[in-house]
Structure 1
Amino acid sequence: MTGIQALERRMPDIPMKPGRCTQVEFEYIRHGTQTLIASFNVATGEVDLATVGPTRTEADFEAHIRQLLAQCPQAPKVHLVMDCLNTHQSASLVRLAAQLESQAIDLGVKGRSGILRSMATRAAFLSVPNHRLVVHFTPKHCSWLNQIELWFSILVRKLLRRSSFTSPAHLKQKIIELIDYFNRTMAKPFKWNYTGKPLIS
């Protein structure tokens, strides 16, 4: 989740009273943004790992995935569901996936040859089902199929929509606190209720 704004409201909220809901100040001071890279465990409903920082570079994403894999070093296979963001199909992620294989793999040269030639060839390699790290990419314009998007909507409703943050560090602290609270008290697997029936007739 990129571009999470640290907005400080210019005036405090007007509290709720009989017949009126809380009124939130619409003018704000912008203190910058943060990016949240999060891994959601669909079996437990918990956010297993969250990285909050100022950027979402290829190196940031690789470091996040390395931390995630370190949590389950003995797992025979790890399945990740992601959208088609460029950092999700990066050369560093391909190299990481290749390191997990028992035999050395010739990856080629980025932008020129082999598996590293293009985003399409990298995505194809990451999607190979018999690798230890298997990435399932959601179709374009269908990132809602990824359950982390449901959790991001919870983050927006519970924290971001009405809160006031005095700095990017304050925003980061509040996001991490919400994740800890969510994992302790609210985490449960999401229950899909879409049956596959076309949404239009």
Structure 2
Amino acid sequence: MAIKYIVNLSDEERSLLWNITSRGKTTGRIVKRAQILLLADEGHPDETIATMLKVGESTVHRTRQRCVEEGVQSALKERPRQGRKRQLDGKTEAFLVATACSDAPSGRESWTMQLLADRLVELNLVQSISDETVRRTLKKNQIKPWLKEQWCIPTVGADFVWRMENVLDLYAQPYDRDYPQVCFDERPCQLLSEKRIPLPSQSGQPERYDYEYKREGTCNLFAFFQPLARWRHIKVTNQRTAQDFAECMKDLVDVFFPKALIIRVVLDNLNTHTPAALYQTFPPDEARRILRKLEFHYTPKHGSWLNMVEIELSVLSRQCLNRRIPDRETMKRETATWALERNRQHATVNWRFSNQDARVKLERLYPQLNLS
């Protein structure tokens, strides 16, 4: 079969193509076209070149044709591709984003990709569209309609501010053994036992445990945390009544800090966290004796993030409580071991948020005064 497009390269063009094939500093497609042109220049037919380079004869033919008609440089380059027409124009894309940010339809918890695709078709904005196209469009706009974050939105004002600054001012004070700072809080825990013995981990296989479990009741963990002394203690009780709180305060005074002049306690506004709890539990003289050595610093409502013991409880949950613990005795033993190890490591919280930081970063929370 006669060759329709004859490739005759100049010495300069031949040198250029040899450099491309030998250096390997360009794409594979350009190297392959350069090899086709060099072989064509030697007089090889299309089918021989196709066999030698393992490409289609049509590829060889098109490369020859472009070289003859448009030159070597044009034959090496990719032709511009038209590309697929966009399914969503700017207006339709904006509608999709707005719909994904709106309330989900009745009977649904959130928008899905298929629901959004069906809505666009239903409103005749597009003839058809896949859920994958919807997903890519939302990803480009950083929209995740299935994701919700739980957030505490406080009602702020002067009361929030003064309580916050009171706690932050306390945190700014240095360590004083006569006036220890203690952060206090509690959290409930379920007691769960295994119905079947878990299978231990082996090489190439993780530990396996059955999804079924048995409920064994609940208990409560009271957490004491002294950041400046790098000390914490966990007390396990059956419940968290006002009497339990009063007993914890008595422990602070008589067991943990018997030589302290005043114990400054940071705690939240739970209805049991009041001096009245001590009068409900002890005789008046005893309640008064304990309260003389306590100074309560309450975090603002919805401001529990200001209590450093919340961070410590989060560590406890991740390191110790993220498993099934069957009874209170095991809970006491495990939490005591955890606290002892943390105390040995001298672990603490490096609190850096001050009143000066609050007045800048949380300026919107402060009352706006009209001083004119």
SS of the counterpart of 1:86? coil
Superposed CA offset, 1:145-175 (max 9, x none): 11111110011000111x2223232222212
Distance 1:72 1:171 in 2: 25
Pick from 287, 304, 308 the counterpart of residue 147 of structure 1. Answer: 308
- Mapped to 1, the partners of 2:276 and 2:301 lie a distance apart of 20
Q: CA deviation at 1:45?
A: 2.3
Once the two structures are superposed, what CA deviation does each residue of 1:26-78 show, in whole Å capped at 9, x if it has no partner?
4321111111112111212211x432111112221111111111232332221
The answer to whether the aligner puts 1:178 opposite 2:178 as a matched pair is no
CA-to-partner distance for each residue in 1:60-112, whole Å, 9 max, x for gaps? 111111111123233222100000111111413366663357xxxxxxxxxxx
Q: TM-score, normalised by structure 1?
A: 0.70
Identify the residue that residue 76 of structure 1 maps to in structure 2.
261
Residues in 2 aligned to 1:13 and 1:141: alpha-carbon distance in whole angstroms? 43
Aligned with 2:201: secondary structure? Answer: coil
Q: Is the 8 A contact 2:245 2:272 kept in 1?
A: yes
Q: In the alignment, does 2:245 pair up with 1:61?
A: yes
Residue 324 of structure 2 corresponds to which residue in structure 1? 164
CA contact (8 A) 1:79 1:135 kept: yes
Gaps of 5+ in 2: 1-185, 365-372
Q: Which residue of the partner structure matches residue 273 of structure 2?
A: 88
CA distance in 2, matches of 1:9, 1:17: 24
Q: Deviations over 1:121-168 (max 9, x none)?
A: xxxxxxxxxx6421000111111211111110011000111x222323
Aligned mate of 1:51, from 223, 228, 235:
235
Asked whether the equivalents of residues 253 and 293 of structure 2 are also in contact (C-alpha less than 8 Å), the reply is no
CA separation in 2, counterparts of 1:86 and 1:135? Answer: 14
Match of 2:288 among 95, 98, 113: 98
- The reply on whether 1:2 has 2:162 as its aligned counterpart is no
Aligned-partner Cα distance in 2 for 1:199–1:25? 51
211, 217, 221: which one pairs with 1:36? 221
**In structure 2, what is the equivalent of residue 191 of structure 1?**
350
Instruction: Tell me how far apart the structure 2 counterparts of residues 143 and 52 of structure 1 sit (CA, whole Å).
Output: 21
> Which structure has more helix as a fraction of its residues?
2
4+ residue runs over 6 A deviation: none
Using a 3 Å threshold, how does the CA distance of structure 1 residues 142 and 17 change in structure 2: closer, same or farther? farther
**Fraction of identical pairs, as percent:** 29
Q: Equivalents in 2 of 1:165, 1:136: separation in Å? A: 33
1:35 alignment partner AA: N
2:305 and 2:195 map into 1 onto residues whose CA distance is: 34
Bigger radius of gyration, 1 or 2? 2
Gaps of 5+ in 1: 102-130
Cα-Cα RMSD: 2.9
User: Comparing both structures, which one devotes a greater share of its residues to strand?
Assistant: 1
Q: TM-score, normalised by structure 2?
A: 0.40
